[in-house]
Amino acid sequence: MINIKVIYKDSIKFMKLTKEQTQEIRDLQSQKNETKRVTAPNLEKILYEAIPILDHGFIRVIDYMGNDTSIVQAARVSYGKGTKQVSTDSGLIKYLMRHWHSTPFEMCEIKYHVKLPIFIARQWIRHRTANVNEYSARYSILDKEFYLPKKEHLAAQSKNNRQGRGEVLEGEQANKVLSLLKDDAERTYDNYETMLNERYDGSVVDEKEPGLARELARMNLTLNTYTQWYWKTDLLNLMNFLRLRADSHAQYEIRAYADAMLDTLKSWVPITYDAFLDYRVGGTEVSSKGNLIIQKLIKGEKIDMESSGLSKREWNELMEAFNLKDKLI
C-alpha cells in the first residue's frame, strides 16, 4: 500500500545546490510568460523548485504538458465533445481509470530533474518507458557527494524476502556499517581525483602527470555517489512507476523520491490523482478463482485453502486484501 505522506521536508537542510543551479531556478521562476495552452495552477507554484530528498538529492518539475482536461478532451474526441463541467470530467476520468483505459492518460507529459544515488538510478532505469538524459561522467567530474543512510534505515537482510530488509541494525554494528560506507566512498573518490590528476575544485593533483581519462576513472566510484538526470514521461507511465515505487514494499530510498513525485502528481492532475488513489492504490485485483471464493463467502458457504484451487501465497494475499483471516477461523 502506498503511503502518501510527504517525507521530504525533514531533508531540507541537507540538500546542496550548485550556484549555477540556484541561479537557474531564480531565473526560471522570475519569468512571466503568456500561453494559450492549459496549465495546472498548483503545479505552476512549485515549477522549477528543488524538493529535497534523502541527504543530498532532490527532484524538480522542469516542464509539463496538459492537465485533467487534456485527458477528458482526448477521451471525447471520438464524438467531438470538448470539456464539460468538473463533476462530469471527474466521472469520466474515474471510468477510464476503473476500466484500465490508457491512451487518454498518455496525452499528458511531465519532465523532472532528479539528483539521486547511482544505485537508485540503476533500479529506477528499469522503468523503460521514459526519456532519460543523465549527467555525463565522461565529460564532467562527479560531485563529491555520497548517500549515507540514517541509522533507522540500516537493516539486516530479510529472512523471508530475498529483496527486502529485516530488523534494523543497532548500536556498534550500525556505527560500523556507516563508518565503512563513508570511508569507502571517501577513499574511492580520493583515488578518483588522483587518477584524473584533477580535483573537483579544478586544481591539479600533480602537474607532471597527464591523468586518466574521465570515462575510465569513474569506474572506481562507489554506487552511493550521486548522479543527476532529466526524466520525462507521460502520465500513464508515471502512475505505473508510482504504483510500484511509492508502495510500502518498495526500497525506502526510491520510495522517498516516489512519495515526493506523488505530491507533484496531486498538484498537476488532482482529479486523476484521486482516481489513481482510489482504483490503483486502494483497489484490489482479484483472479477468477478468487472471485468465486468471494461469492461463496457472501452466500455463507464454507471455504478453505485446500479446496480453493489457490496456492498458499495466493490464498494469503486474498485473505489479507479483504481482511478475512480472522473471519474464517
Q: Supply the residues annotated as catalytic.
A: 245
Instruction: Quickly list DSSP for 253-273.
Output: HHHHHHHHHHHHHHHH-HHHH
- Alpha-carbon distances, residue 68 vs 63, 88, 89, 90, 271 (angstroms): 16, 12, 8, 9, 7
Chain position carrying cell 473471519: 327
The C-alpha atoms of residue 51 and residue 118 are separated, in whole angstroms, by: 19
β-partners of residue 168 are 155
* Phi and psi torsions of 316, nearest 5°: -65, -40
CB burial string 146-179: b at 16+ within 10 A, e below: bbbbeeeebeeeeeeeeeeeeeebeeeebeeebe
Contact 127, 241 (CB under 8 A): yes
